[in-house]
Structure 1
């Protein structure tokens, strides 16, 4: 019983009823325009004095409403009303003006349906409550029985006044049921007539995927750049602190390396954040490449006391820009991983080779503990694997050698592959 009452008189049913009444109110100007055609066509001077002529005026006004629905703001306004009054989710509705022929046709169909059904429910809402009130009061008010007020002759029977309140209440319940049913019908059809097409949904999904790809790309850039800088600065500062009194020259070199590292990282951070603020297209923030800054990367790493041996084959300066940029980040992250897990003073061997249409990157270092990503969201080796996979390459990492004391990272990137 409570469920039925909620369906007929609950908040959602009442809001949908309001939506239908608004449709009836919007229909009134079109009914008046229809009267201007029906009156001369039938020779009637009082169209609203005849119920059939009223229906004819109503029917004549709906095609006019369909034409005026081509106004650009019709679909956004109707979609907003459906969202707030009919309880339809916003992602199932198109809030932009109709542009294609199909969208305009569906908007016209919806506007006509809204005004047509709303006009009927609004007319019933105006007529039935006074009629039901008279029937409910009929047994208790003798004057109503005497004046009749145009009531049906069946009420002249002696049993009729006793049943009149039942009929009155039933009329109100029937009105609520019609309004709830009509509101549910419009809510059901709204996404089909006012919602985005499958092509629109596909385009929106592609746009979201492209935006997510850009953001993931920027997140990797931030992680690799800032993460490496923090690891290097921490190592350099620690090494400088240990020899502060005994080796001032090394301290000066470490401080200079810290200054250079932080300056470069702040510049990269500003560039990435600028892309995020501006929401620029599918591009990404400028990043260093092997050709431009590999020697600087190795020098900054060595300045912290890390012993780095690098073997770089000829031809790396002619790498495609995308491969060179990603390779730089992979080498940078490989060095950061060695700094985090091997510690200062441990020898790191870096080899970069070009053969058989591929760029091979190998980073090896001794390990003193388990190799894993940092807790709390660090990407580390997973980020390297993501970069390699996006270029159509491969990445493998693990321990080898006697008792598994050597950690080896090996990445292969095709020089011509998916961007």
Structure 2
């Protein structure tokens, strides 16, 4: 029983019939070449030889066209291995066709890849040679399947209507042979596609680089979302606690307004990050602008609204600080103020932001209770401080955080390549 199930299981798979179609189309191409060639319409050795030989020069000429490899890769994905492209990564099939680092638009146009099958155009003679060999294999295998598809069912009909008698008992055999041929040749064609249409080392490297860049971008977005939502929640908690302790309707109204404003900005950040994750295109015009150091005043006002007196001093042309430095600098200030509110409460905070001498300096200080200083021990643990150090390191700068003279101090220095 299990043997019968194993024999008939391939017949229940959709890929068996899509592979059959893929092979029959190849055989039809060979038939067209035979019929249009003069003098080969009659049956005989010349006709059968032409059936196999005539397509060869055409296939060799087609293999020289780079786009043919892309077309063959797409067909192999859709017909030889259907239903698997959406469940796989972009390994090997998202090459740009223009070197190791193709544009993101070209890579996205290539679509998701099936492991081992590329859709990039041929970029060298080796890939053109593999394409030519694949075309020959495809047409020869397709010709065999097409002939069997036409001849074997006819043989079954002949066994019933022709000799009669016990020959009718052999009627199922040609159909079974056709099914076995389709399954076997289809599987062999799929494997041949993986060998001959395999992505080059450059394509694999480009796909790996793209995947690494995407993971890094997602990690950055996750850290940014943590900073924004964490800041909003910290301000909301501090404001709510202060309003309850104050017992003043006027103070409560101001606290609620501050919570509303901070929450609205956090929702804007959340929406922006979600849009980026949905469309996977950081450069889209539909994504709201990321906050930068020019928006640091909103952080100061938010901290002041939470009850923390902030002595802020901003010097230098912040509007001329390069975009990546300005955006990451904003997040560093945000995380430092959030830590001050979370761990020390609404205490006086000193904030210094200065862009001078090709260096961006960020200095945030707040009183540190003795118990907290003893507990932290100056180790600077925690994901927030680790994120500050990671941001500074990625930008080629340095960050120091820890107790200093009875205060908690976060000091960051980021090099400015140049001020435009």
Instruction: Give secondary structure in 1 for the equivalent of 2:417.
Output: coil
CA distance in 1, matches of 2:364, 2:410: 6
CA distance in 2, matches of 1:303, 1:36: 84
CA distance in 2, matches of 1:178, 1:95: 27
TM-score, normalising length from structure 1? Answer: 0.66
Equivalent residue for 2:46, pick from 30, 41, 53: 53
TM-score, normalising length from structure 2? Answer: 0.66
Deviations 1:17-71 (A, max 9, x none): 872575245414533532553736xxxxx732x3x33421212342266257868
- Does residue 114 of structure 2 align to residue 91 of structure 1? yes
CA distance in 1, matches of 2:348, 2:84: 68
For structure 1, list consecutive stretches of 5 or more residues without a partner in the other structure: 41-45, 145-164, 372-377
The equivalent of 1:37 in structure 2 is 37
CA distance in 2, matches of 1:214, 1:396: 25
- Does residue 203 of structure 2 align to residue 200 of structure 1? yes
CA distance in 2, matches of 1:108, 1:205: 27
Instruction: Give secondary structure in 1 for the equivalent of 2:289.
Output: coil
Structure 1 residues 8 and 254 mapped into 2: Cα distance closer, same or farther (>3 Å)?
closer
Q: Is the 8 A contact 1:94 1:195 kept in 2?
A: yes
Deviations 1:172-197 (A, max 9, x none): 99888766654443222212433443
Deviations 1:303-362 (A, max 9, x none): 32224445x474474762443432222111111112222234x34444556678452534
Q: Is the 8 A contact 1:211 1:282 kept in 2?
A: no
Root-mean-square deviation (Å): 5.0
CA distance in 2, matches of 1:23, 1:86: 19
For structure 2, list consecutive stretches of 5 or more residues without a partner in the other structure: 89-112, 377-381
Larger Rg: 1
Q: Is the 8 A contact 1:80 1:95 kept in 2?
A: no
- In the TM superposition, residue 113 of structure 1 has moved relative to its aligned partner by 1.4
Q: Is the 8 A contact 2:27 2:145 kept in 1?
A: no
Structure 1 residues 97 and 240 mapped into 2: Cα distance closer, same or farther (>3 Å)?
same
Instruction: Give secondary structure in 2 for the equivalent of 1:27.
Output: helix
How many residues were matched structurally? 375
Instruction: Give secondary structure in 2 for the equivalent of 1:47.
Output: coil
CA distance in 2, matches of 1:53, 1:8: 38
